[in-house]
Amino acid sequence: MVSNPLPLFPVQSLNPSGIEAPASSPAPTTLVHLFEWTWADIATECETFLGPNGYRAVQISPPQEHIVLPDYGYPWWQRYQPISYQLESRSGSRAELQDMIDRCRGAGVAIYADAVINHMAGFESGVGSAGTRFTKYDYPGLYSAADFNDCHQQVSDYGNAENVTQCELVGLADLNTGSARVQTTLVDYMGELVEMGVAGFRIDAAKHIRSQELGEIVAQLRDRHPETDLYIYQEVIDPGTEAIRKQDYYGSGQVIDFKYGQFLGMAFLGLEGQTLANLETLGESWGLAPSAQAVVFTDNHDKQRGHGGGGDYLTYKNGDLYALANVFMLAFPYGKPQVMSSFAFDDSEQGPPADAAGRTRPVYQGAESSCFNAWVCEHRWPAIVGMVGFRNATEPVATVTDWWSNSANQIAFGRGNRGFVAINREAQPLTHTFQTQLPQGRYCNVVQGGLADGGKTCTNDAEVVRVNRAGQFTATLPAITALAIHGEAKLAR
């Protein structure tokens, strides 16, 4: 293709799709986690970038009142220690949350809330982001000691399901989710968010809630809001060697399959003899959840920091290699992909960019974003945003076609007559004639060039791919680059 490829990360904002956001939100193909963004910033991002570029859902940080920890430097994890279910958090007020939900829906982007319902804050006492004072097991007007499980010890045996679900995850006050009163309280909280327009929930620490009890909570929530087809996906970290199994939670919704990102990391990092060619069969046969049950990621906020069981995961700090792994994830027809959007950190406990009082610094300064500095904004990296459009265009085809590899770290595959991708992980260029099922024509490589002029031209003329009437094209990919073309990136003659 090109002798001097553009970096796969990060450049100025662009709109490779050239497509206006629809008025209503279709079934999401790709969701993005805007980790620790404020509600006002998310609203603007939905309107100016996410909707126009084909992102269809955002996972937001937990919206409930949380503990405030100045002595710990306002760490990211304070969001995961609830004090009450008031919608006043580091990200903003209830009114700002409502405005964000409404504006994102108007841009065709659904909002999924991170629901922390397994536990409350674990500190002996403190104050919350709405000013609520508490002591452990006593959260005024909400829960008292009777609402918590009797095991006031930390989880110590992951081979024992009762220990995992009834004791305290890292000392957090573990709610008795089998209690009718607790279930009603949780359904009330989540129901309020649904009434505001939230379209789904990530269930934090689902592994630490008995699957039957979580199923009861979700069923009550669905029964209370039959008009909303809620999207539920659950954090169940299942290494395959413990008492809690992800399949126990399929009845409540999808599960986040943590092994997927580890498999990607091993292949792209070349660990334990793994190569990209091995990824041809990636899926349920590898011990992953069935594709229809799985939410997958290259990395998430825990895995970036070595939390959640460890493992070898690529992050934004791996640069182009990380971008390539996301190209694969968004091209390969397995699971529901989640793109991570981070803030830069050196300390694994570090909170988002903030002032001395812990107030989060905005991503947007007026109409301009401050992405690619303290806010990493991987979802805006050209390779990643280009592949979101690829995912949307190829979603109807659930299979891989025309797989090719060099039996090592150069691979290519198609998605029927909808799209084709090639990835060169090797240190030397790849020149090859690829067979596709695409119609004859000129296409824009959406990894390196965006669409412009309503999709009629490619922003980088050197990235135009010519497919002949036999469905073939010849290209040269420099080291650590990728190419992706799809039907909606076909150029006018």
Residues 385-409 pLDDT 10s: 999 999 999 998 999 999 999 999 9
What rounded mean pLDDT belongs to the chain?
A: 93
Q: Which two tokens stand for residue 210?
A: 């008995």
Strand partners, 59: 33, 112
pLDDT of residue 7: 62
Confidence of residue 21 (pLDDT cuts 50, 70, 90): very low
Catalytic residue selected from 88, 96, 235, 299: 235
Q: Which two tokens stand for residue 373?
A: 């500095």
Confidence of residue 25 (pLDDT cuts 50, 70, 90): very low
Mean pLDDT for the stretch of residues 191-200 = 98
Q: How far is CA 203 from CA 22, 111, 124, 136, 214, in A?
A: 28, 14, 25, 22, 9
pLDDT of residue 453: 81
Higher pLDDT, 12 or 145: 145
Establish whether 71 is a catalytic residue: no
Domains of the chain and CATH, by start: 31-394 (3.20.20.80), 401-489 (2.60.40.1180)
Question: Residue 19: pLDDT above 80?
Answer: no
Catalytic residue selected from 41, 204, 378, 488: 204
Which residue intervals of 14-93 are DSSP H helices? 39-45
Confidence of residue 17 (pLDDT cuts 50, 70, 90): very low
Mean pLDDT for the stretch of residues 305-319 = 85
Higher pLDDT, 375 or 29: 375
Residues 437-489 pLDDT 10s: 999 999 999 999 888 887 789 998 899 999 999 999 999 999 999 999 999 99
pLDDT of residue 139: 98
pLDDT of residue 308: 66
Distance of CA 98 to the CA centre of its chain: 22
Establish whether 41 is a catalytic residue: no
pLDDT of residue 22: 30
441 contacts: CB under 8 Å, gap ≥ 6: 466, 467, 490, 491, 493
Q: Which two tokens stand for residue 80?
A: 């995961």
Pick from 16-25, 116-125, 146-155: least confident = 16-25
Mean pLDDT for the stretch of residues 346-356 = 95
Q: C-alpha angle with apex 462: 460 to 466, nearest 5 degrees?
A: 110
pLDDT of residue 27: 46
Pick from 169-183, 232-246, 281-295, 445-459: least confident = 445-459
Higher pLDDT, 34 or 8: 34
Mean pLDDT for the stretch of residues 119-138 = 98
Strand partners, 203: 115, 234
Across 157-273, the runs of DSSP E, i.e. the strands, are 173-174, 200-203, 231-235, 254-256
Distance CA(410)–CA(479), nearest Å, equals 10
Asked if residue 423 lies in contact with residue 445, where contact means CB atoms within 8 angstroms, the answer is no
Residues 205-225 pLDDT 10s: 999 999 999 999 999 999 999
